Amino acid sequence: MRKHILIVDDEELFREICQEMLGERGYRVSVAEDAPAALAVLQSERVDLLVADITLPGIDGLTLIEQVRHTQPDLPAIVITGFLTQDNMLRSLNLGVHGFLTKPFFYDELFQSVERAIEDASATRNQLLIDHYLPLIRLGEEILAQDHDSLFGRTLNAALEIALMQTGATQGFVAVPEGPGGPQLAAASGFPPEDQPRLSSYLQQALTALNHTSTRPAAGDPHDVLSGTVIAGMECLLTRLPGVVPTGLLLLARPAADPAFSDEERKLAHLLAVQAAIALNQDKALRRSDKTGADLLALADLAAALVPAEAGFGASRRSELARLGADVARSLGCDSATQHAVHVAVLCHDLGKAFVPPALLAKPGPLTEAEWDQVRPYVTLGAERLARGGSLAAAATLVANHRERWDGRGYPRGRAEGEVSLAAYVVAAVTSWGAMLAPRPYRDPLPPEMAAEELRGHAGRSYHIEVVNTLLGTVGQHTARAGAGR
| Tens of pLDDT, residues 184-216 | 666 777 777 666 666 666 666 656 655 433 333
Looking at the predicted structure, is the pLDDT value of residue 138 above 80?
no
Bigger pLDDT: 483 or 405? 405
Is the per-residue pLDDT at 168 higher than 90? no
Superfamily of domain 289-484: Hypothetical protein af1432 (1.10.3210.10)
What gap in Å lies between CA 362 and CA 440, rounded to an integer? 8
CA 167 vs CA 52, 135, 239, 266, 416: distances in Å:
36, 11, 13, 8, 48
Say whether pLDDT at 150 is over 60: no
- At 204 the pLDDT is 64
**Residues 439, 326, 476: CA angle, nearest 5 degrees:** 65
More confident residue, 57 or 293: 57
Q: Which band of pLDDT confidence, cut at 50, 70 and 90, is reported for residue 454?
A: very high
User: Among residues 443, 377, 402, 441, which one has the least CA distance to residue 126?
Assistant: 441
Report residue 192 CA to chain centroid gap.
37
Say what the pTM is: 0.47
pLDDT in tens, 76-128: 899 988 776 777 788 888 888 888 888 877 878 888 888 888 877 766 655 55
* Domain 149-280: top CATH class: alpha beta
State the pLDDT confidence band at 75, using cuts at 50, 70 and 90: confident
Averaged pLDDT score across all residues of the chain: 75
Contacts of 87 (CB under 8 A, 6+ apart): none
Tens digits of residue pLDDT in 233-278: 556 666 666 554 446 777 787 777 777 777 667 777 777 777 667 6
pLDDT band of 310, cuts 50, 70, 90? very low
Beta bridge partners, 241, equal 248
What pLDDT is stored for residue 139 in this prediction?
52
Q: Using alpha carbons only, how large is the chain's radius of gyration in Å?
A: 26
Residue 171 and residue 189 in contact, taking contact as beta carbons nearer than 8 Å: yes
Confidence (pLDDT) at 81: 83
The domains of the chain are located at 4-126, 149-280, 289-484
For residue 147, pLDDT beyond 70: no
Q: What is the pLDDT of residues 22-45, one digit of tens each?
A: 998 888 899 999 999 999 999 888
Q: What pLDDT is recorded for position 403?
A: 95
Fold classification of 4-126 is Rossmann fold (3.40.50)
pLDDT at 324 over 70: yes
Question: Binning pLDDT at 50, 70 and 90, where does residue 409 land?
Answer: very high
Give the mean pLDDT of 285-291: 49
